[in-house]
Amino acid sequence: MKIAFCCTDTRPEPWLEGLKAELPDAEIAVWQPDAARTPTAAGLPAQPRAASSFQADYAVVWAPPQTFIDEQTQLKALFNIGAGVDALLKLRLPPSTLVVRLDDAGMAVQMAEYVCHAVIRYFRELADYDVAQQEARWAYRKPRRRQQFSVGVLGLGVLGSRVAQALQQFEFPVNGWSRSPKALPGVRAYTGQEELPAFLNASQVLVNLLPLTPHTENLLNRQTLSQLPAGGYVINVARGAHLVEEDLLALLDSGHLAGATLDVFRTEPLPPQHPFWKHPRITVTPHTSARTMRDETIAQIAGKIRALRAGQPIAGVVDPQRGY
């Protein structure tokens, strides 16, 4: 069994060592443009040779180039080390190659704590207290009524479901929207395009956790965000291409929206001159709401490879038509 590792901006050595520990019979190589790596006896990369000389059965990837896909003609499955597979699905992939996303690998709890922090910071108006501290001003804010502060979770996959569950621990009313029907305890469910307006109307805070597909790109635009209640708040932790940036700025400046916490952007890193950086009602973080946990990810990928080799079904196989 041969495994290729092709992950942009990721130091390969810890990943190779972990994969070798989990799959000691595997030959593991780091892919480089125009040269595959010849595995050593320890399974780590050594001298480069022609790309076609190392044909992998499986690949562990993040943002691989089309060249990698074209050169690796025997791939049975691509294992993506992040939750989103939108970049991978833009490539020309062989129809027989499975695309496998992570089920969780430690990201769900990170996402839940990030979103809960952003919701509570807005609900308790802590940003205003930050300003008061800078002005040495002792000032109370009138408490808000929690039961009138509904949080809407857009997308109820693994991460969205965990976020909805966590928000309930703080007794916020939680709405959930999904493309197909989903029933989660304590969550008021909305389904399909026809129920999206009602979902937005009922959500004081909107949390976006949708996968990025042709159907969801630019979904957070002037029309949809205007359907949030006056003073609504937007939290985007999915993909930057979901959000029409100019429309968000316009709705903030008009006063219809009270603010936003944004962790993902159309261009990353976010350019220094971008207006989001200095907008007084936008909180920016550098795509850090849920980071891949290496050890958990390696264990999950290795387990799925073992299952595939044994002819067993695995979770996380992506439907290319749906995009997730």
Q: Are 263 and 287 within 8 A, CB to CB? A: yes
Beta carbons within 8 Å of 273's beta carbon, 6+ residues apart? none
Look-up of token digits 């990698």: 68
Please provide residue 81's backbone torsions phi and psi, each rounded to the nearest 5 degrees.
-90, 5
Nearest CA to 179 out of 168, 190, 163 is that of 190
Q: Are 159 and 107 within 8 A, CB to CB? A: yes
Give the separation between CA 176 and CA 191, rounded to whole angstroms: 8
287 is a catalytic site residue: yes
Strands (E), 125-231: 151-154, 174-178, 187-191, 205-208
Catalytic residue among 188, 287, 294, 306: 287
Catalytic residue among 37, 101, 179, 239: 239
Give the separation between CA 201 and CA 160, rounded to whole angstroms: 19
Give the separation between CA 320 and CA 76, rounded to whole angstroms: 15
Give the separation between CA 308 and CA 77, rounded to whole angstroms: 9
Type of residue numbered 237: V
Q: Are 248 and 259 within 8 A, CB to CB? A: no
Biggest distance spanned by C-alpha atoms of the chain: 70
Radius of gyration of the chain (CA): 22
239 is a catalytic site residue: yes
Give the separation between CA 142 and CA 127, rounded to whole angstroms: 14
Sign of dihedral through CA atoms 179, 215, 301, 72? positive
Which residues have a catalytic role annotated?
Answer: 239, 287
